[in-house]
Amino acid sequence: MSAVSHPAQTPSARNAVKNAAGDTFATAINCIDGRVQICVIEKIRSRFAVQYVDVITEPGADGILAFGPPEVIEAIRRKAALSVERHRSRVVAIAAHHDCLGNPGSKAEHLECLKRAVERIVGWNLKVRVVGLWVNERWCAEIVSDTEQ
Ligand SMILES: [Zn+2]
């Protein structure tokens, strides 16, 4: 099947598009912090009904996408594009979290970074749903923004 022959998809069905092997993927851009891996993956799997989550990590990823440096942003963009194009991910999430070493700051500062990071990802024109996640002090991931809500 060529890349141009996919039928138009409804917004709900677009969340979980099977790739060539029949698997469904989403994409997470997350901090390297071990405390925020499983909760982010599980939130995305349950909310968007995908089997797998491709994970791109960078210390303080929300701050990187908000403010740079540009070469790191570009590296993240390439990895996200690979996940979208080859695994047919239709959701790209960016996560920020409490007690982040890579991007220290208040929750309000992280939410501002998330807003800018979401705008950055939307600007990549991957034609995906873009979701912002906040991982709170109990290490629970909350959806704070969603381009389809
Ligand atoms: Zn962190």
The CATH code of the domain that includes 103 is 3.40.1050.10
Report strand pairing: 129-135 vs 141-146: antiparallel
Does residue 12 sit within a domain?
A: no
Does residue 113 sit within a domain?
A: yes
Distance 100 CA to ligand 1 centre (A): 4
Does residue 37 sit within a domain?
A: yes
Q: Which residues, including other chains, have CB under 8 Å from residue 10's CB and lie 6 or more apart?
A: none
Distance 7 CA to ligand 1 centre (A): 39
The parent domain of residue 32 ranges over 20-146
Which long-range contacts does 22-25 make (Cβ < 8 Å, 24+ apart)?
A: 23/51, 23/52, 23/87, 24/49, 24/50, 24/51, 24/52, 24/88, 25/50, 25/51, 25/52, 25/53, 25/54, 25/83, 25/87, 25/88, 25/89
Q: Over its length of 149 residues, how does the chain's per-residue pLDDT go in tens digits?
A: 444 444 444 444 455 777 766 789 999 999 999 999 999 999 999 999 999 999 999 999 999 999 999 999 999 999 999 999 999 999 999 999 999 999 999 999 999 999 999 999 999 999 999 999 999 999 999 999 999 98
Distance 126 CA to ligand 1 centre (A): 25
Does residue 10 sit within a domain?
A: no
pLDDT for res 12: 46
Does residue 3 sit within a domain?
A: no
pLDDT for res 52: 98
Q: Are 69 and 41 a contacting pair, CB within 8 Å?
A: no
Does residue 72 sit within a domain?
A: yes
Distance 12 CA to ligand 1 centre (A): 31
Distance 21 CA to ligand 1 centre (A): 33
Separation of alpha carbons 32 and 109, rounded Å: 19
pLDDT for res 22: 73
Distance 38 CA to ligand 1 centre (A): 14
Distance 5 CA to ligand 1 centre (A): 40
Q: H or E stretch including 29?
A: strand 25-30
Overall number of domains in the chain: 1
Separation of alpha carbons 140 and 130, rounded Å: 19
pTM: 0.88
Strands in 31-149 per DSSP E: 52-57, 91-97, 129-135, 141-146
Does residue 133 sit within a domain?
A: yes
* Adjacent-strand bridge partners of 40: none
Give the dihedral of Cα atoms 135, 31, 104, 91; nearest 10 deg: -60
Does residue 80 sit within a domain?
A: yes
